[in-house]
Amino acid sequence: MAAGKAAIAAEQRNVADLLKSLKLSGYSSQMRAPDWSGRAADGKTVSLSALRGSVILLNFWATWCQECRPEMPLFERMHGEFAAQGLNVIGINAREGTVAIRGYAKELGLTFPLVLDSDGKISTTYGVIGLPTTFIIGRDGRAVALGVGPREWGGEQARTLMRILLDEPFRR
């Protein structure tokens, strides 16, 4: 039992160190991410509650956002690498239309869901104040971290963080 507690404490320290290296703000382990639902550019409905049990990388972006553009291929790479282990990368678009979003996705080769937030409700629910903004949500729905502005999502720290979160058991 003591060895198990020590392992959990070490993992929590690792997560805290990784969040710091990525310049992400962590949340209390009791904080839950707010639920949302929206229609993706492909017409499918996506919601946080339907994704429970997965690790979610939730990115708020726009086609006109110059700082968003370099992150998108990195998110696509993460999606390709970790989707089979339970990572869901979701892009929440800030008030643009389906045509613009589909063109952008095609140009960059994006295959992860890009959700329309045409009325800004999802962005408001999450308190988004600038783009890009990225939230990481654990398998159990807890808010893990937040980053406003671009981050090094292609680096080893981000990949290690995803591996640690994906290794966590799903607790209801």
| Per-residue b or e along 142-153, where b marks 16 or more CB atoms closer than 10 Å to that residue's CB | bbbbbbbebbeb
Tally of structural domains, the chain: 1
For residue 80, the domain's CATH number is: 3.40.30.10
DSSP element (H, E) containing 100? helix 98-108
- Residue 170: the pLDDT is 78
Is residue 116 one of the residues assigned to a domain? yes
Q: Is residue 34 part of a domain?
A: yes
Which structural domain range is residue 41 located in? 2-167
In a domain? residue 162 = yes
pLDDT in tens for each of the 172 residues of the chain?
Answer: 555 545 545 566 789 999 999 999 999 888 999 999 999 999 999 999 999 999 999 999 999 999 999 999 999 999 999 999 999 999 999 999 999 999 999 999 999 999 999 999 999 999 999 999 999 999 999 999 999 999 999 999 999 999 999 999 877 6
User: Which of 85, 64, 90 minimizes the C-alpha distance to 75?
Assistant: 90
Does some domain include residue 172? no
In a domain, 143, yes or no: yes
44: in domain: yes
